[in-house]
Each structure stands twice: as structure tokens, then as C-alpha cells.
Amino acid sequence: MDLIIRGGTLVTADSVMEADILIEDGQIAGLYKPGSPVDSSVPVLEAAGLHVIPGAIDVHVHFREPGLEQKEDFLSGSGAAAVGGITTVCDMPNTLPPIATADLLRTKVDKLQGRSYVDYGLYGVILPDNLEQVDAMLNAGAVALKIFAGPTTGNLGAPSWGALVDVFQAVAKRGGIIALHAEDRETVEYWEQRVKGEGGSTYEDLLASRPAFSEASAIAQATLLSAQTGCRLHVVHLNTKEGVDLIGFAKQQGAPVTTETCPPYLLLTAADYGRIGNRMKVLPYIRHQADQERLWGGLLDGTIDMLSTDHAPHLPEEKARDIWSAPAGAPGVETLLPLMLDQVNKGRLTLSELVRMTSLRPAQAYGLYPRKGAVRMGSDGDFTLVDLKKRYTLRAEEMLSKARQNPFDGVTVTGMPVATVVRGQVVAREGKIVGQPRGEWLRPPEFCA
Ligand code: DOR
Ligand code: ZN
């Protein structure tokens, strides 16, 4: 698609400039001084008064296909992402059935054709009994392989830490990425049984059922494996102060480790549960002020590479169950940029820093750079126009996700994404889908056979 984005302020991870952006055949074809004469046949997207940022890349969403489409499907999830200013997602494999073979991955690829508004990578999962599929899933184009070290939605098992030595070696040989849900299963099983047995029923009891030690222990073991095998490791949804320290240590040792955190961990604490209830029940659980402060510190100093959403929709009636039986997960693709732009306005980070966390680093860590995450000739023309002055009250009932509930329902922010461009096509404007579902499957070239 061809497009000119005209009159905006272009903000990248390391620069701010006034520029008109020309996109040809979906790719960036030129940056021009504002007001440069343009070919009048090219469609124009007016960006005067707006900031133009590289489209956000969210490496952690659950769009629930196949098998859990009542919670979300690719059209609803990717449409929600598009209105939220996200132009690329990577979709998790804890579906029904889980994406645990190359055949299931290929079937998913076929099924998603023409059903996504944004570009997408797809995960495979490593289970206790599918080690022989590791190579095949990478050959089939898995963007990364997920390991659920602790129990969560889908109740998928993981290989023992012993068996993971083999797994890390096998993935390292291929240059693949392991994405780790870092909770230690034994610790969780012991403490859940104990706290429930003692009649626990408060949010603090919920936290006690998965102590901080659980995440720390899983990260310590996995980062050691990463250092020893050279396997690229991405730790998802970091949420404890101990976790930040351990990732920092692993990076100092030169381990090829990256990590992400999500807005709920940066903006909510246990103290909010009384007000928000199970809408903020996400796994790992949101903890305390001290954790939140360390997460912010890690994010700003680069220990935490990127922001993701862990967009994990469940239905309102499921979330209405009691604190133990409500499923964990919250939608996030429609609130990531609004909430973080609000933080930019509050002076917590700069817009360039936000671009680093939502576009540059995710693209680099996931092998999508420089097709994605770069503003240079030939890179995909993925941009989000943001209005830093727009005040808006987030309303779950107006959102496109099937979740129909959101931990940030009713929160007023300043700063909103107002238009989303995927490879030169305007797909969303002012909260509405205006384009076609022309999202492409992204096959990381470097480790595909
Ligand atoms: O809160 C969560 N929800 N955390 C996870 O790890 C899984 C996710 C889901 O799939 O519902
Ligand atoms: Zn997740």
C-alpha cells in the first residue's frame, strides 16, 4: 500500500524530528522535510499536531485460537490490537489443543489467513513429551517456543529442569528463542495446597500461594541454563523485585537473556484488589509497591527490555467466580499505549523511551529487526499516530476485545493512539477498524529451514 503520513512529529527510539513519511508497497520509501511537494495521487494521512511512532510490537498475546474462541479470536483480538496502536503481535500457544507440533502450527497458519488486522508471529509450546517436535516447530516458522514452568491457563506441563538441559541445547543449536513463564511448579503446588488448606481467601493469601521465591527460583535456573548453553531466553511478564535483580545479574554475566513486563505490574499493586477484584487477577500475581518500584527502575535502566501486554481475555462470568477459581488473565492490547502515553505525560518516561520498549527492543529480541522496529528505507511502514493531548476515559464496554471487562475500566488517561498504519494501510482510526484484515504471518528468517 502507498501512503504519505504528513505533518507529524516522528519519534524514534533515538530521535525526534518533523518529517513527512512516504510508504510505497507497504515499505518505508522516504522521509521528507515537512511540506515537501508530494505526488498528488498518493493517499495522505494528516498528522499535524500529532506524534508518529513506529507501530508497537507486542510479543505476548493470547488470541485463543484454536479452541477458546468464546474468550477471543484472531479477528477480535487483532482488531483490538489495531485500535490500541499495536501493529505486530506474537500469539501464545496455550490453546485447545496447544500448539505442540509442527502440524498444529501449520494448521493454525492456514486458518489465520486473512483473519488478522495486524502482522503476527506464532509460538509453539514445549511440553514434557514433545521434545522431538522442537526442530520441526522451528522449521515450521515458530517465532519462539514457550515453556510454562508453572501452572496457568491450559494447565500445560513442562519438562523437568533436568530435561530442560537437553531442550536449551537443542534450541540453542538452532538459534531459536525460549520464552519462559517463570514460576516454579513444585513451589506453587506446595504453597497453593497449603494456603488453600488453611482456608485462605484474601488477595494476600493468593500471593502467599505463589511466593516471590517461585518466580526467582525459575528465573535463576533458566538464566543459568541460558548462560551455560548459549540459548536465547526471554522471560515473560516479570513481576518481582527479585526477578529484576536476577535478570540484571544474568545480563552482567553475558547470558543472552531478555525480559518484558506489562502495564498492570507497573500501575497496580495488591492494594488495588479491593477496588478492582478479579479483573486484576493475572498470573503471575500483581505484588507490592517495592516490586513495582524495582520494575520501573529496571525498565528505565534497560534491565527490562520491553513492554508487552500478556493480553489474556476471559469472559466476565468466568472472572466473577471466587478468588481461587476465577481464571487469571486480563485484556491489554487496547490499554497498553493509552496507559503508557499517560505515563509519558506524567513525566515517568520519554516518548523515545516508550518507542524503545514497545518497538525497537521487541523487534530486535524476536528476530524481526530491521523489517520491524526500524525507521529506515525498506522497513515495513508500520506507524501509530498518537495525540498526546487527548484525554480519554477507558471503557471496557467500548473495547473490541471479547473480554468485556478490564482492570483499567473507568481510568482517565491523557494521550491516545488515534490512527494505526500496518504496511501502509490505515487499519484503525479513533477506536474504530477502518481497514481490512491483511495482517501477514511473520516467519523469522534466521532460524527457518
Ligand atoms: O494471567 C495469565 N493469563 N497468565 C498466564 O500466564 C496465562 C494467561 C492466560 O492464558 O489466560
Ligand atoms: Zn501470557
pLDDT tens, residue by residue, 322-352: 999 999 999 999 999 999 999 999 999 999 9
283 lines ligand 1 (CB under 6 A): yes
Q: Is the pLDDT of residue 37 over 90?
A: no
Residue type, 15: S
340 ligand 1 Cβ < 6 A: no
For residues 183-190, average pLDDT:
97
C-alpha cell at 348: 515517568
Residue 435 DSSP code: S
Contact 303, 228 (CB under 8 A): no
Q: How far is the CA of 419 from the centre of ligand 1 (A)?
A: 29
State the average pLDDT over residues 372-385. 98
- 309 in ligand 1 pocket by Cβ < 6 Å? no
Q: For residues 365 and 357, give the distance between their C-alpha atoms in angstroms, rounded to a whole number.
A: 11
Taking alpha carbons only, the member of 244, 231, 238 closest to residue 126 is 231
Least confident of 5-14, 34-43, 73-82, 352-361: 34-43
DSSP symbols for 77-146: HHHHHHHTTEEEEEE---SSS---SHHHHHHHHHHHTT-BSSEEEE-EE--TT-GGGHHHHHHTT-S-EE
Convert 195-230 to b/e letters by CB count within 10 Å (16 or more is b). Answer: beeeebeebeebbbbbbbebbbbbbbbbbbbbbebb
Conformation bin of residue 236: beta by default, left when phi > 0, alpha when psi is -120 to 50: beta
Peptide bond into 211 cis (omega under 30): no
For 271-286, what is the mean pLDDT? Answer: 98
- Please say if the pLDDT value at position 378 is more than 70: yes
What's the pLDDT at 38?
Answer: 77
Contact between residue 310 and residue 332 where contact means Cβ atoms under 8 Å apart: yes
Cα 281 to averaged position of ligand 1 atoms, centre (Å): 9
Is the CB–ligand 1 distance for residue 287 below 6 Å?
A: no
Q: Assess contact for 218 and 210: CB atoms under 8 A.
A: no
The candidate with the shortest Cα–Cα distance to 61, out of 81, 85, 82, is 81
Determine what percent of the chain is predicted with pLDDT higher than 70. 99
Q: How far apart are CA 50 and CA 341, in angstroms?
A: 13
- CA 177 to chain CA centroid, Å, is 15
How does pLDDT run across 210-226, given as a tens digit for each residue? Answer: 999 999 999 999 999 99
Res. 154 pLDDT band, cuts 50 70 90: confident
Pocket test for ligand 1, best of 65, 94, 153, 239 (most atoms within 8 A of CB): 153
Mean predicted lDDT score pLDDT of the chain: 97
Section 67-81 average pLDDT: 98
pLDDT at 445 over 70: no
| Residue 120 main-chain phi, psi, to 5 deg | -150, 145
Calpha distance 57→310 (Å, rounded): 12
List the shell of residues around ion ligand 2, using CB closer than 5 Å: 310
Identify the pLDDT of residue 449. Answer: 42
Confidence of residue 245 (pLDDT cuts 50, 70, 90): very high
In angstroms, rounded to a whole number, what is the distance separating the alpha carbons of residues 1 and 425? 6
Average pLDDT of the segment spanning 394-408: 98
C-alpha R_g of the chain: 21
Contact 136, 102 (CB under 8 A): yes
Interval 85-107: pLDDT, tens? 999 999 999 999 999 999 999 99
Closest CA to 435 of 34, 72, 104, 43: 43
343 lines ligand 1 (CB under 6 A): no
Pairing of strands 257-261, 306-307: parallel
Tell how far the Cα of 35 is from the centroid of ligand 1, in angstroms.
Answer: 47
- Check residue 446 and give its pLDDT: 53
Whether residue 68 has its Cβ less than 6 Å from ligand 1: no
Residues 6+ apart with CB under 8 A from 249: 223
What does the pLDDT read at residue 149?
A: 96
Tell me if 195 CB under 6 Å of ligand 1. no
Question: 284-289 long-range contacts, Cβ below 8 Å, gap at least 24?
Answer: 284/150, 284/182, 284/183, 284/210, 284/214, 284/215, 284/237, 284/239, 284/240, 285/206, 285/207, 285/210, 285/239, 285/328, 286/239, 287/207, 287/212, 287/239, 287/240
- Cα(76) to centroid of ligand 2, in Å? 17
User: Please, what sign has the CA dihedral across residues 254, 259, 265, 266?
Assistant: positive
Position 447 scores a pLDDT of 46
What is the whole-number distance in angstroms between the Cα of residue 181 and the centre of ligand 2?
8
Residue 274 φ then ψ, to 5°: -60, -35
**Band of pLDDT at residue 36, cut at 50, 70 and 90:** confident
What is the DSSP pairing of strand 119-122 with strand 27-32?
unpaired
Q: How far apart are CA 42 and CA 93, in angstroms?
A: 40
Burial 380-417 (b: 16+ CB within 10 A, else e): bbbbbbbbbebebebebeebbbbbbbbbbbebebbbbb
Which residue carries 504528513 as its cell? 6
